[in-house]
Amino acid sequence: MSYTVQDYKKGQPRWCPGCGDHFFLASLHKAMAEIGVAPSQTAVISGIGCSSRLPHYMATYGMNTIHGRAAAIATGCKVANPDLTVWQVSGDGDGLAIGGNHFIHANRRNINLNMILLNNRIYGLTKGQYSPTSPRGFVSKSSPYGTVEDPFRPAELCFGARGHFFARAVATDAPGTIEVLKAAYNHKGASVCEILQNCVIFNNGTHDAVYSKEGRAKNAIYLRHGEKMLFGENNEYGIVQEGFNIKAVKLDEDGYTEADVLVHDAKCEDNTLQLKLAEMEWPIALGVIRDVEAPTYDEAVWSQIEEIKEKKKYHNFAELLETNDIWEVK
């Protein structure tokens, strides 16, 4: 059976006009229709925040839960029923501040969740406080003189927690977003997708460098596994290695040629270069940055249950009782 976008859509979104969440929601509907898992077999689980309203606009099963706990709740849901396709949706506050512990442990355990991190670097629902991804010095209502703390870099956190999948897209870039969502679905294990999105009210312009198609042509690089890392309006730039680092260079200048340009390897177990790519400030890396196969927690839980069922001789409560030291009173 195949599905259309309409099969996943529900209700009228109530985000501010121009909010990045609108763009992302449309891409998620499209990606789900292309993936083709039935709405009845899909659960979309969010925490609290502007972006966490998203499940209300899905015709799937879902929960809009409590602040920060989406990954933990999704974990129980997926482990209890591994047949469900589970999407966990959080903003940067929900996912990385109050829910930071669950974010890292879901990655460490490698639970087969598609983890969406809608990053607008601001708290929108509480009307404009800095978030754990706001840059140092960021001025907001709760930091009128600028923040005095460094932000998390989501990829670094994901990799530090031994995450096996990390991808990035810009909310306004539908094809790019759909591509990473499908890749996240196809990856078995915790799949983190950082979606760069704008908050028109409280942090307008935060991702300006890549928010428009023209901007992305100049300032972004689309990474594809097995392809040379070229970018620019005419592919005139490339990523090369320099010592222990990587850098962007203009080809045919300073002696660099296309032959020097690195080939992207998302499947490489060692995440060193993938991290370098994820953290580049120019160009900003988009697409699937890391995608490495590893055992998933939910599968391991159930295969262990099957294995122990084979080994042990008791399979119901009455048989369990018989495994104890029993005496009889006559």
Stretch that binds other proteins, among 69-77, 244-252, 253-261, 262-270 (CB under 8 A): 69-77
Cβ 20 to other proteins shortest distance, Å? 21
- 35-40 CB contacts, 8 Å cutoff, 24+ apart: 35/85, 35/181, 35/182, 35/185, 36/1, 36/2, 36/3, 37/85, 37/185, 38/1, 38/3, 39/3, 39/7, 39/8
- Of 109 and 121, the one with the shorter C-beta distance to other proteins is 109
Positions 292 through 321 that interact with other proteins (CB under 8 A): 301, 304-305, 307-309, 311-318, 320-321
d(CA 139, CA 156): 24
d(CA 310, CA 328): 30
Residue 286 · residue 168 · CB < 8 Å: yes
Q: Is residue 78 a contact point for other proteins (CB under 8 A)?
A: yes
- Of 88 and 134, the one with the shorter C-beta distance to other proteins is 88
Residue 12 burial by Cβ neighbours in a 10 Å radius (0-12, 13-18, 19+)? exposed
Q: Is residue 48 a contact point for other proteins (CB under 8 A)?
A: yes
- Which of 29, 30, 69, 216 forms a contact with other proteins (CB under 8 A)? 69
- Of 102 and 290, the one with the shorter C-beta distance to other proteins is 102
- Of 47 and 132, the one with the shorter C-beta distance to other proteins is 47
- Of 84 and 278, the one with the shorter C-beta distance to other proteins is 84
Q: Is residue 3 a contact point for other proteins (CB under 8 A)?
A: no
Dump the DSSP string for 69-94. Answer: -HHHHHHHHHHH-TTSEEEEEEEHHH
Q: Is residue 234 a contact point for other proteins (CB under 8 A)?
A: no
Task: Count CB neighbours of 56 within 10 A.
Answer: 15
Positions 79 through 98 that interact with other proteins (CB under 8 A): 79-81, 83-84
- Which of 20, 49, 62, 93 forms a contact with other proteins (CB under 8 A)? 62
Cβ 107 to other proteins shortest distance, Å? 11
Q: Is residue 65 a contact point for other proteins (CB under 8 A)?
A: yes
Block residue for tokens 């592919």: 235
Total of residues contacting other proteins (CB under 8 A) = 59
Q: Is the peptide bond before 283 cis (omega within 30 degrees of 0)?
A: yes
Cβ 49 to other proteins shortest distance, Å? 12
Task: Count CB neighbours of 265 within 10 A.
Answer: 16
Q: Is residue 329 a contact point for other proteins (CB under 8 A)?
A: yes
Cβ 32 to other proteins shortest distance, Å? 12
Provide the 3-class DSSP secondary structure of residue 170: strand
Q: Is residue 330 a contact point for other proteins (CB under 8 A)?
A: yes
d(CA 325, CA 214): 75
Two structure tokens written together for 99: 């829910």
d(CA 5, CA 237): 37
Q: Is residue 11 a contact point for other proteins (CB under 8 A)?
A: yes
Look at residues 225, 218, 121, 210 and name the one whose alpha carbon lies nearest to residue 173. Answer: 210
Contacting residues toward other proteins, per CB under 8 A: 11, 38-41, 43, 45, 48, 55-56, 58-66, 69, 72-81, 83-84, 101-102, 104-105, 301, 304-305, 307-309, 311-318, 320-321, 324-330
